[in-house]
Amino acid sequence: MTGSGADAALDELAATPRLLAALDFDGTLSPLENEPMDARMLPAARDAVEALVALPDTFVALVSGRSLTDLRVIAEHDDDSGIRLAGSHGAEFWIPGEGRVEPADDAADVELRDRLRADAERVTSDLDGVWIEPKTFGFGVHTRRADPAAAHTANRRVDRIVAAEAPHWRRRTGHNIVEFSFRHEGKDSAVAALRERTRATAVLFAGDDVTDEDALRSLAAGDVGVHVGTGPTAARVLVADIPAMAEFLADLARRRAALRA
């Protein structure tokens, strides 16, 4: 764990009356996988998350660019879980006691999504290692298994399609993925909605990718941002890798439990 004030940050979070721990999934709790649906939390990360969920006045949410359906699969999340979910960068939620909270789909948006997704699949079908991931409000262009030339070609071709047909869509870049969506919510708005729902007095947000920086920059005084990996980042605390992130969460759970003993 690096960064000045990591211990102070843990103590602040442990002592706050109502804590929201909002956590990215891929690259933060789970290693990045060539097959995205193979992703699972490291056992140490899952143990730490469950330790936090078990504490009073402590709320844990997974905040991901994954669709809510896929996030529930990779998080091994069932209907009895106490973990909140924000999928599609905060455009859809799962709340304990309520279940899914999703916006109503506009038929024109859905038709355009399906057409552009099919076009993206068609123009990248000749490129080895490129995969188009269906998403609730758009699609993602995965290039983790592609060589750099094929990845560049795939992104250039799909960019042209979206620029011509849906210039109003939101474009996001991540680790070997470019995502397109007809909804514009971000992880910053997801954290804001979760903060309001839980009435949290402080928020911990942790992530590893460019799309997490919106949420990190949105944090208020008294909140703590954690970045997994190297910078640049708006996070207050940096941790080296996923095991270090798991230890940070476990340490937080121990300190918070000790204050409530």
Q: Is residue 106 over pLDDT 80?
A: yes
Q: Which two tokens stand for residue 233?
A: 């980042």
CATH superfamily of 6-103+186-259: HAD superfamily/HAD-like (3.40.50.1000)
Give domain limits for the chain: 6-103+186-259, 107-181
Look at residue 2 in the predicted model and tell me its pLDDT: 45
pLDDT in tens, 6-29: 899 999 999 999 999 999 999 999
**pLDDT tens-digit profile of 173-193?**
988 899 999 988 899 999 999
Write b or e for each residue in 87-98: b if 16 or more Cβ atoms lie within 10 A of its Cβ, otherwise e. bbbbbbbbeeee
Mean pLDDT for all residues in the chain: 94
Nearest-angstrom CA–CA distance, 259 and 223: 19
What does the pLDDT read at residue 3?
44
Report whether pLDDT(154) > 90: yes
pLDDT at 159: 97
Q: How confident is the model at residue 4 (pLDDT cuts 50, 70, 90)?
A: very low
107-181 fold: Alpha-Beta Plaits (3.30.70)
Residue 223 has pLDDT above 90, yes or no: yes
Beta bridge partners of 87: 92
Distance CA 175, CA 159 (A): 17
Query: What's this model's pTM, rounded to 2 decimal places?
Result: 0.84
What are the contacts of 49-52 at 24+ separation with CB within 8 A? 49/23, 49/83, 49/249, 51/249, 51/250, 51/253, 51/254, 51/257, 52/21, 52/249, 52/252, 52/253, 52/256
> What stretch of H or E contains 20?
strand 19-23
Question: Which pLDDT score is estimated for 6?
Answer: 87
Fold match between domain 6-103+186-259 and domain 107-181: no
Q: What is the mean predicted confidence (pLDDT) over 118-147?
A: 95
Per the CB < 8 A criterion, the answer to whether 85 and 66 are in contact is: no
Query: If you search the block for the tokens 């402590």, which residue do you land on?
Result: 58
Number of H helices, E strands in the chain: 8, 12
Q: How confident is the model at residue 130 (pLDDT cuts 50, 70, 90)?
A: very high
